[in-house]
A and B are shown apart, each in its own frame.
Chain A
Amino acid sequence: MAELDTSSGGGKHKGGKIRSKKASTRVDLTAMVDLAFLLITFFMYTTTLQKPKAMDLAMPDNSVKTSQLPIAASRSMTILLGSHNKVEWYMGEAGKSAPTVDNYGKDGLRKAIIENAKKVADTHNGDEKLMEVVIKPSDKSTYENLVAVLDEMKITNVQIYAIVKITQMEIDDLKKNSIY
């Protein structure tokens, strides 16, 4: 592959016979390969193989004042996002059931969501079998927390969820548990 025919057609006349000059036909490739590898290294370091991912989020249209369906307290779960990567959740109405402080992740929030969804499915019939989750981020929670909770919705296959403004009463409760 790397040979080039550098032999000249003619050559000098020597002894009456026309003989082609036998010069080395190999071209030194070292420099070219060096350069190629240098460029490979450069492009390898600069390319980002991991493209960013996009999470779809739909907010309710608040401009149309349609009759809002009341959420049945018995099948709603409210998740309050506090500071220090902690969450607090309770079932039903605020103040009526004791809230639980939990962590994010597999053994914390996800477990709770799955258990609650199961409970709701066991105690309800027909269309009401699905649990509704209300996500209330407090001002001290971070964007990572919000994404983590939305991600849990996807993982645990919760169909109905919404991001709602937190109330003062719930902020007080977060303060009481020192996660605000």
Chain B
Amino acid sequence: MTAMCDVAFLLLTFFILTAKPKVDDPSKAEVPPSTVIMPVADVNMITISVGENKAFYSVTEQDVRQEALKAMGEKYGVSFTPEETRRFSLTQVFGVPMKNLKSFLDTDPSELKNFPQTGIPADTTNNNELFNWIYTSRQAERALHDKLLNVSIKADRKEEYPMINTVVTILEKQKVFKFQLITSLRTGQK
């Protein structure tokens, strides 16, 4: 009994310490497998999730999120209250256009799951929302931490190429030529 109890608590401690809260990703992207073994960094990272032709956006740093929201608000003529800014800094992943962002942030957190996230508008022009989100975040990171943000693309395996091409073009337009594709580890031989 004593030994079992000891082991149980040891395991419990291990799992509690290694546990990370699961990020609820509204894009529902199922990443494709590959043989790459380099793990994804979890700091200084912009992740663009793509699923069902919709783009979702997330940045790891909370202060960068706040700055980016401020800059985006100025650009698109939307002003956010401190409460909305605070809510936004706690939102991990989002995919709503600027015109809906205010109502998205005003929605009660318990009902946020039902909020229709239509994706961030993205195209290959020089002035679209996804472009500006990435751009303002990178500027904010530069101003706040004097570091460069890494960019990664997390797309669903069944996503068709044109959407991927759009995201890549947006990155190329702001001279991000090196980025990461998120994959899962391939198990077994293929």
Interface of A toward B, CB cutoff 8 Å: 1-2, 29, 32-33, 36-37, 39-40, 43-44, 46-48, 50-63, 81, 105-106, 137-148, 150-151, 154-155
Contacts and interface: CB of A to CB of B under 8 A. Distances in A.
Contacts, number: 149
Given A54-B182, A56-B178, A139 B16 contact: no
B20 to A, nearest CB: 7
Contacts of B160: 139-143
B168 A59 contact: yes
Interface stretch (B29-37, B68-76, B87-95, B112-120): B29-37
A48 B22 contact: yes
A112 B1 CA distance: 60
A116 to B, nearest CB: 20
Given A32-B5, A53-B182, 16 more contacts: A36-B9, A40-B11, A43-B15, A51-B39, A52-B40, A53-B37, A54-B182, A56-B178, A59-B171, A61-B175, A137-B165, A138-B161, A139-B162, A143-B32, A143-B155, A147-B157
Main secondary structure of the interface of A (DSSP, over half): mixed
Interface in B1-20: 1-2, 4-5, 8-9, 11-12, 15-16, 18-20
A52 B183 contact: yes
Interface string B154-190: 1111111110110010011001011111111110011
Main secondary structure of the interface of B (DSSP, over half): mixed
Contacts of B5: 1-2, 29, 32-33, 36
Interface residues of B, number: 54
A28 B4 CA distance: 14
A74 B71 CA distance: 51
Interface of B: 1-2, 4-5, 8-9, 11-12, 15-16, 18-20, 22, 31-41, 50, 152, 154-162, 164-165, 168, 171-172, 175, 177-186, 189-190
